[in-house]
A = this chain, B = another copy of it.
Amino acid sequence: MKKLTRRSFNSLATKGILGSALMANMPLANALTTKQNGKKLGIALVGLGSYSTYQLAPSLQETSHCYLAGIVTGTKEKEAVWSKKYNIPSKNIYNYENFDSIVNNKDIDVVYVVLPNSMHADFCIRAAKAGKHVICEKPMAVSVLECDAIIKACNENNVKLSVGYRMQSDPYTNEVKKYVREKTFGDVLFVSSDAGYISKGNPNQWRLDKSLSGGGALMNMGVYSIQTSIYGTGQNPIAVSAQEFSTRPDYFKDTDETITAQFKFENGAVAHMMTSHNANGNQLKCHCSNGWFELEPAHSYGPISGTTSNGDILKFPHKRQQALQMDDFAKHILMGTKNVAPGEMGKRDMIIVEAIYKSIAEGGKEQLLSLGNMGIVS
């Protein structure tokens, strides 16, 4: 845990936002005065594409500890529409040029960067420098180096950082994590996961443009399977190998269409995954020494569906995952609860993404990984 200086402590204390490092030594009631007295954290969404429009903004109508306070958009017409729909004052509306002046806006506590992947690092770092907590949509960035830069900026500016891994706040995912932790079905021996959809839309969409996306199916959907492989085993892989498949090169001009990968874990578990922009897949199945459990769908917007070898059918009340996710982060900031999707988790996944691309470049050769417990949140 990074040690806070007095200056950064004062800065945090002023805002009433205290890291969990300090929490242990302070009475809770004292530490959380400002924000916890009914006041919610103000979130600004950066980038008003379909994910912000149809998922994040509606979710922010359901959150308890944060609310939609501001927007950052490059599309002038969206300003009025959003302002009206969500009652956002004009002083909380920014564009990409004047974004840095958000430093002076006390309404905004958290900046959620929902831009194309290659823009994540830039805007996350700018948000951190403006003293705002940061949520970075997945994948965290387009390289490990960029992840490092984001983490460094957040540390230096004493702001919290999380990755937009909504599944980490999903109750079905957390039930699976509990099975793994408590060995409900014994040791996990084999995990099979897939995450894909059939991309048929505009061939000029940013996801198919490597300069914006950093990669194709792996960057977009593959990250889900990397995540499921890890929370399906409770461990980081110690080695990975991978293969790429291409059948529609005219459409997938410079991004990966389908990738398979295999993971080796220290305790002997094995996982394989498939991710694609040309085939559907939405499953996590864990075969254990004494049974199995499965999520299918495993990572759609929900409700997720789960079954086990005991005949159990998982059933949890449905709430928008993004609402749970943003509230989890707000509670982390406000109350020092754990960060369920810290920057280290996003960086770890990017290390794996890079290893997968390297394995493909080397004809499927196994890549050793030295991740330790990096990004594991139990």
Contacts and interface: CB of A to CB of B under 8 A. Distances in A.
A322 interface: no
A281 B287 contact: yes
A245 B198 CA distance: 31
Contact of A190 (B264, B279, B285, B292): B279
Interface string A247-266: 11000000000101010100
A78 interface: no
7 contacts: A190-B274, A190-B279, A248-B268, A258-B270, A270-B279, A363-B364, A363-B366
Interface in A136-167: none
Interface residues of A, number: 35
A220 interface: no
A241 interface: yes
Closest 9 CB pairs of A and B: A247-B268, A364-B364, A190-B279, A189-B279, A280-B287, A245-B270, A260-B262, A260-B272, A243-B262
B196 A289 contact: no
Interface string A266-287: 0110101010101111010101
Interface in A180-209: 189-190, 192, 194, 196, 198
A289 to B, nearest CB: 7
A365 interface: yes
B189 A198 contact: yes
A267 B366 CA distance: 28
Contacts of A192: 192, 194, 274, 281, 283
A299 to B, nearest CB: 15
A153 to B, nearest CB: 38
B189 A194 contact: no
Given A194-B192, A196-B190, A243-B262, A274 B279 contact: no
Identical chains bound together, number:
2
A359 B241 CA distance: 13
A257 to B, nearest CB: 9
A190 B258 contact: yes
Interface in A107-151: none
Contacts of A364: 241, 243, 359, 363-366
A281 B288 CA distance: 10
A290 B363 CA distance: 32
Contacts of A258: 190, 270
Given A280-B190, A287-B279, A274 B268 contact: no
Contacts of A198: 189, 289
Contacts of A241: 243, 364
A283 B366 CA distance: 26
B268 A260 contact: no
A198 to B, nearest CB: 7
Contacts of A267: 247
Contact of A272 (B189, B268, B272): B272
Given A260-B262, A274-B270, A190 B366 contact: no
